[in-house]
DNA sequence: CAGGGTGTTGCAATCGCTTGCAGACTCGGC
DNA sequence: GCCGAGTCTGCAAGCGATTGCAACACCCTG
């Protein structure tokens, strides 16, 4: 159906090699022939078959992006960043959603690995050993996860948590609850650790409420336990969880921020629209996506290098869900 | 790096042909050899290179999914449906986001077309002629768009609008505003037409406020014009727009639903969390994604057929954003 | 006019895989 | 013991591209 190199060659009256060169190494061919080939190519609507090229050059011009859950608005943002950059570089993107399932993730990664030039793994749940194994025979860039010195783009969670605690402490909060994400989540870990340090530094109590699914429902589920801790403020694993908290607190007629202040993380679009609007740590998600592609592409150019992880700062966005504690 | 058929063959002590057959046409090879090949294959972690297979069989096992904007939660839902089904059928999915840009869409479609077996175009903005041209030499399934008799999965907008109008009319509304989506949007068109019919049938006035971007901002922008029409109820192109309306109305201290009832379309997760919770038409988004894959796969099996479009009904979800008009 | 560039083109091998065809081997029946 | 019919396996061609190498024409120089 689609035109092949041969068709173009035939039409232009040259060999396939010449067509190939005319299209990708133009200076190697005579201007006149080149023109003839070009017209032939686009009367036929010829587009090179990347798969075939990939077989020889080892570069298909395709990359893979694996992430836990597209329903979480955090990830589409990253995807958009990835897409934008990928498109500019003329590479196509496979996207795979693992549904927060480690086994699915490992499958998908393996399956994808052999048909792309490189892989971007966003918030992967698999363990470090597995990721290193994958990275051993595929070019991999991690996003929102650090494993030894695999190339990565991460957010500065520690600093973000410092900002959040500083904000709450300044308001006068002494007892802060922390609603963690999935147990397997690296970022949940990081955030927890950051919080521990920051609250020690500010002399406030931190109560770890445990691990919850990283969604609205997780927040709903955590809310009552948060209330039971007697904390006057709560920091949630992400905005979705925070919004779930908000909903459940509202349902129980516990006023936010009056009775309890709520802080989210991510700054998804939704959190500006919640009631009350959510105070959160804004993470540059699209930028992370873009940088991940850049990093991957550079790595593909010169594979030997081991670039240091890119660390992206977040910043505190104070909205309406935090205020002074009741006293 | 990755193991090839040859590596497996060497390890198992057979020819590549045998390996190929052992893996894809198991009954053609002796059980003993087959077993030997199998172990060899997975000690090597062998995964066939789909690109190479695709060159020969003409089937790469990859499909493409093109959509306008991942930041709109409607689309990730569809993507999840597509992914789920695709994964079950062992096909990988290229996802491309066009950013609501027709030119980008056409580029992406062309570029993708030659490296996949088929294409799913979700809410494409390109004109009918272009889509038909594409469909002429690639297997294409449309989602949320109807063009002649190209294979498609669509929602029953007319019926949805009927439900919305019936609901509002029953509440006593006589003057309903309609905030349309992008001018190029087929579904906006459909919804508008459905509304015209339904409001005629119910004897209510319909005021078309015009076309707006299909986001939160579009709703913000439309709100004042809606108010100016004097309508007591408004139906928005989608939930995002409806939530934008809600926000702007709130900012202007116009109480919803007291002063004006608001109805959205889609039922994205966010709309259950808005204040007030949004009355909307729920559309089976994931199901649409799944069915689109099924359709595409069937079409790939037997290309000659021209299946009738699948029409998916939506249903009215009454929440807190609609009530009787003030009188 | 011979010799050495330079510029342009084609031949043929190659990538990883599938598949038609034919060869080798086994087995049962006469 | 021989033949035909299966089974099972390997050879080799081919998919659509890229690319090293060689062939050729041409021009310039000495």
Task: State chain B's mean pLDDT as an integer.
Answer: 95
CA distance B318 to A111: 43
Q: For residue B28, give the DSSP letter.
A: G
B114 touches chain A (CB under 8 A): yes
CA distance B68 to A76: 13
Question: Two tokens at B179?
Answer: 């905030």
The answer to whether A219 and A210 have CB atoms below 8 angstroms apart is: no
Nearest to B274 among A51, A113, A273 (CB): A273
Residue B1 banded pLDDT, cuts 50, 70, 90: low
CA distance B164 to A167: 45
The answer to whether B250 and A273 have CB atoms below 8 angstroms apart is: no
Residue A304 banded pLDDT, cuts 50, 70, 90: confident
Chain D nucleotides near the protein (CB, 7 A): 7-12, 14-20
Question: Two tokens at A178?
Answer: 């922390």
pLDDT tens-digit series, residues A104-125? 999 899 888 888 999 999 999 9
Query: Mean pLDDT lowest for which of A28-32, A217-221, A304-308, A316-320?
Result: A304-308
Mean pLDDT of A9-19: 95
CA distance B172 to A324: 45
Query: Mean pLDDT lowest for which of B1-5, B87-91, B143-147, B240-244?
Result: B1-5
Torsion of CA A83, A87, A91, A97, to 10 degrees: 20
CA distance B282 to B284: 7
The answer to whether A164 and A237 have CB atoms below 8 angstroms apart is: no
B70 touches chain A (CB under 8 A): yes
Question: Two tokens at B323?
Answer: 């009530």
Inspect the interface and report whether the beta carbons of B71 and A76 lie closer than 8 Å: yes
The residue whose CA lies nearest the C1' of nucleotide C6 is A28
Question: CB neighbours (10 Å) of residue A148?
Answer: 10
Q: Is the per-residue pLDDT at A327 higher than 80?
A: no
Residue A317, pLDDT score:
98
SS3 B131: helix
Q: Is the per-residue pLDDT at A294 higher than 80?
A: yes
Q: What is the pTM of this model?
A: 0.91
> Among residues A2, A23, A28, which one has the least CA distance to residue A12?
A23
- CB-defined contacts A:B, below 8 A: 129
SS3 B97: strand
Which chain B residues in 78-107 lie under 8 Å from chain A, judged by CB atoms?
Answer: 79-80, 83, 87, 92-97, 99, 104
Which chain B residues in 20-49 lie under 8 Å from chain A, judged by CB atoms?
Answer: 45, 47-49
Question: Two tokens at A210?
Answer: 């445990």
Q: Is the per-residue pLDDT at B3 higher than 70?
A: yes
């Amino acid at each position: 159906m689609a035109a092949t190199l041969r068709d173009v060659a035939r039409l232009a009256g040259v060999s396939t090699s010449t067509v190939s060169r005319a299209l990708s190494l133009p200076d190697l061919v005579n201007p006149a022939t080149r023109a003839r080939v070009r017209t032939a190519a686009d009367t036929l609507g010829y587009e090179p078959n990347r798969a075939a090229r990939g077989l020889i050059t080892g570069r298909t011009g395709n990359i893979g992006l694996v992430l836990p859950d597209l329903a979480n608005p955090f990830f589409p943002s990253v995807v958009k960043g990835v897409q934008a950059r990928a498109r500019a570089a003329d590479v196509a993107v496979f996207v795979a959603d693992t549904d927060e399932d480690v086994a699915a993730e490992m499958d998908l990664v393996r399956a994808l690995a052999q048909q792309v030039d490189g892989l971007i793994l966003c918030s992967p749940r698999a363990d470090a050993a597995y990721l290193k194994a994958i990275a051993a025979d595929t070019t991999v860039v991690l996003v929102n996860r650090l494993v030894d010195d695999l190339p990565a783009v991460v957010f500065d969670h520690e600093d973000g948590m410092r900002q959040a605690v500083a904000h709450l402490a300044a308001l006068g909060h002494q007892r802060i609850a922390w609603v963690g994400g999935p147990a397997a989540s690296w970022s949940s870990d990081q955030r927890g650790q950051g919080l521990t340090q920051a609250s020690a530094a500010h002399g406030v109590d931190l109560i770890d409420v445990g691990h919850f699914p990283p969604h609205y429902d997780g927040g709903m589920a955590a809310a009552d336990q948060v209330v039971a801790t007697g904390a006057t403020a709560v920091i949630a694993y992400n905005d979705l969880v925070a919004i779930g908290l908000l909903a459940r607190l509202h349902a129980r007629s516990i006023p936010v921020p009056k009775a309890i202040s709520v802080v989210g993380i991510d700054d998804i679009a939704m959190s500006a629209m919640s009631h009350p609007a959510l105070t959160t740590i804004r993470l540059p998600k699209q930028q992370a996506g873009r940088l991940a592609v850049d990093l991957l592409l550079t790595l593909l150019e010169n594979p030997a290098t081991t670039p240091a992880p890119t660390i992206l700062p977040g910043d505190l966005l104070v909205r309406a869900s935090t205020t002074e504690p009741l006293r």
